[in-house]
Amino acid sequence: MLLHSPQQNHLLAALSTADFERVVEHLELVPMALGEILYEPSEQLQHAYFPISAVVSLHYVMASGASAEAAGVGNEGVVGIPLFMGGKTTSSSAVVQIAGFGYRLPAQLLKQEFVRGGTLLPLLLRYTQALMTQMGQTAACNRHHTIEQQLCRWLLSTLDRMTTTDLVMTQELIASMLGVRREGITEAASKLQQAGFIRYRRGHIAVLERSGLESHACECYAVVKKELNRLLSAPARLIDLPTNVRQSVN
């Protein structure tokens, strides 16, 4: 049994056999360490990353040094949207928040597959829509919901991308992701622990009762999950792009 496989990433697993076989020979398995920066603002992206067990945070850092997460990416998606959207760079950072593994693909090869018009194109477009939903919902959640609700939403979303219920994560890092003070996370985590939903010790959070987190989370978690499932459950179909479109993208 293989410990790691490209098909552990949902996007790669959804490719047609022909498209997968063409891409897989260019995929490189890479370890993704906690805190590793995959790209920084205005930096030219060299690779796209398809996580299989790692989770990556797309977040923004203010001039003051404060930061907040706009979205997370795990085995459901890809890091490197600007590569096929035409922007080449972005104003956000991509930082590994849960260590693990992923597969990386050279930027030029991702763009070639995108303009080829195979099954990767509609998958990437639908995933981008799901990512936009996540970003919009996160912005609304951070503005209108309590820290406890935000923490539940964040924990549930992170769990969906993992094969374990034990998260290696400090309160400081969670506070940075949610854009709140550490004291707020400490208070919220304490309430969840007292309720028996989680067990927290320094640097580790074990989820004991997922249903409890779901009952205390705001509607944002369910909205994002439902949209992701809707968009990525549809079968990918070949798209034959006109020659002039292919040439303009190249």
Q: Please report, for residues 5, 112, 116, 191, the alpha-carbon distance to residue 243 in angstroms, rounded to integers and kept in the order given.
A: 34, 13, 10, 59
Per-residue pLDDT tens digits of the chain, which is 250 residues long:
458 999 999 999 999 999 999 999 999 999 999 999 999 988 889 999 999 999 999 988 888 877 888 999 999 999 999 998 887 788 889 999 999 999 999 999 999 999 988 899 999 999 999 999 999 999 999 889 999 999 999 999 999 998 888 888 888 888 888 889 989 999 999 999 999 999 988 888 999 999 999 999 999 999 999 999 998 886 655 555 444 444 444 4
Q: Which two structure tokens, joined as six digits, stand for 227?
A: 């949209």
Each domain of the chain, given as residue ranges in start order, spans: 1-143+232-237, 146-217
Instruction: Check residue 168 and give its pLDDT.
Output: 86
Class of domain 146-217: mainly alpha
Instruction: Check residue 247 and give its pLDDT.
Output: 45
> Is the pTM value of this prediction over 0.75?
yes
The one-letter code for the residue type at 110 is: L
Give the fold, CATH level 3, of 1-143+232-237: Jelly Rolls (2.60.120)
Q: Report the alpha-carbon distance of residue 16 to residue 120 in Å, rounded.
A: 8
Q: Report the alpha-carbon distance of residue 13 to residue 142 in Å, rounded.
A: 33
The one-letter code for the residue type at 209 is: E
Residue 92 dihedral angles phi and psi, to the nearest 5°: -100, 170
Q: Report the alpha-carbon distance of residue 56 to residue 71 in Å, rounded.
A: 9
Instruction: Check residue 63 and give its pLDDT.
Output: 82
Stretch (H or E) spanning 73: strand 67-73
Q: Please report, for residues 2, 141, 190, the alpha-carbon distance to residue 225 in angstroms, rounded to integers and kept in the order given.
A: 28, 14, 26
Residues 6+ apart with CB under 8 A from 141: 149, 150, 153, 218, 220
